[in-house]
Amino acid sequence: MSPCRCNSGRRRDIIRFVPAPSQRNVAVLAASLFGLALGEELWQAYLPAYLTSLGAGAVAVGLFAASTSLLDGLYQYPGGWLADRLGRRRTLLIFTGLATAGYAIYAIAPSWPFLFAGLAAVMAWKAGAFPTTFAVIGDSLPRERRAMAFAVQSTLIRVPRVLGAPLGGMVIVAFGMVAGIRLAFTITIAIALVVMVVQYLGFRDVPPPQTVGPRRGARAVFAEMPGQLKQLLVADCLVRVGEGVASSFIVLFVLQVRQFSPADYGILYAVQQAVSIAFYLPGGKLADSMGRP
């Protein structure tokens, strides 16, 4: 009887330290977000300069930024739709694979129009996979802790910006604008392949905690949104329009007009993201404790 009790105790100890599927999935998502963001931030802030190095003018740079924002919005709904029908694990793998193909197109693009094809693939991860991210976090935490969890998720995305942009700037200074950014693309592809392996081996699809309702189109979903959520959506759109007017041209102003080096711009960009991080966690804590309206 004694050995049986010992074996039973050991089994309980093992089970105690094996993470639940939802906790494991959150860990896989956190690793995916951090890894891909770190790779992308080696070159993300310098894309307008890369475009101009490949012959693009100001109109093309602005159109590229507008296309980024458009795809960011358009991919959200199909991203959630696919996650509901194909499963979250398969959806993550599809979108990460598409993003990896986009990085490769960026790296070998002979001229700037090819970057638009790469953008359509890269945004599959940046926008299409986000509904899955939010769903996994929402399923694993009680409602009163979700704002703080989303703040942590946003921080995981921005910490790589603090690290990646200065590193990318140093790579560009060492190898030149085109060669340096292409080297950064290659590093990102390697990171993305590792992330796909982690997703394949580590993510586990689990049934959603609530029964899935009838299938509805985007118009029906928008009509059922609470009024406060619609107001927040409109306000967010207006803020993003204001940011988009200048955001794509800041790097060109710093590098070409003010004649600072890419390494200097990387530090400036890192400081900007550090300020954002400083406000995310307190903001999430306040939203959880005081309410969101």
Please write the tens of the pLDDT for every residue from 116-175.
Answer: 999 999 998 878 777 777 777 666 666 655 565 666 667 777 788 899 999 999 999 999
Alpha-carbon distance 38 to 200, whole Å? 20
Q: Is a pLDDT exceeding 60 seen at residue 108?
A: yes
Chain position carrying tokens 């794509």: 248
Q: In sequence order, which residues have a C-beta less than 8 Å from that of residue 213 and are 6 or more positions away? A: none
**Is 53 part of any domain?**
yes
Alpha-carbon distance 9 to 6, whole Å? 5
Considering only residues 15 and 137, tell me which one the structure prediction assigns the higher pLDDT: 137
For 126-145, letters b (16+ CB in 10 Å) and e give bbbbbbbbbbbbebbbeeee
Alpha carbon 179 to its chain centroid, in Å, reads 25
Cβ proximity of 32 and 160 under 8 Å: no
**Is 14 part of any domain?**
no
pTM value? 0.78
Determine the structural domain holding residue 175 and report its residue range. Answer: 21-205+217-290
Residue type, 197: V
Please write the tens of the pLDDT for every residue from 35-80.
Answer: 999 999 999 999 999 999 999 999 999 999 989 988 888 888 788 8
Look up the CATH number of the domain holding residue 235: 1.20.1250.20
Specify the number of domains making up the chain. 1
**Is 12 part of any domain?**
no
Tell me the angle at which helices 146-175 and 21-40 cross, rounded to the nearest 10 degrees. Answer: 30
**Is 212 part of any domain?**
no
Average pLDDT, the chain: 81
Closest residue by Cα to residue 277 from 70, 96, 23, 37: 37
* Helix (DSSP H) and strand (DSSP E) numbers for the chain: 13, 0
Alpha-carbon distance 37 to 153, whole Å? 12
The mean pLDDT of 88-101, rounded to a whole number, is: 92
Please write the tens of the pLDDT for every residue from 187-220.
Answer: 999 999 999 999 999 988 766 545 445 556 667 7
Tally the C-alpha atoms within 13 A of residue 190's C-alpha that lie toward its C-beta.
Answer: 7
Closest residue by Cα to residue 119 from 161, 61, 170: 61
**Is 65 part of any domain?**
yes
Angle, vertex CA 122, rays to CA 138 and CA 133, nearest 5: 5
**Is 8 part of any domain?**
no
**Is 15 part of any domain?**
no
Closest residue by Cα to residue 267 from 159, 157, 163, 154: 163
**Is 69 part of any domain?**
yes
Task: Specify the 3-state DSSP secondary structure of 288.
Answer: helix
Torsion angles phi and psi, residue 77, rounded to 5: -65, -50
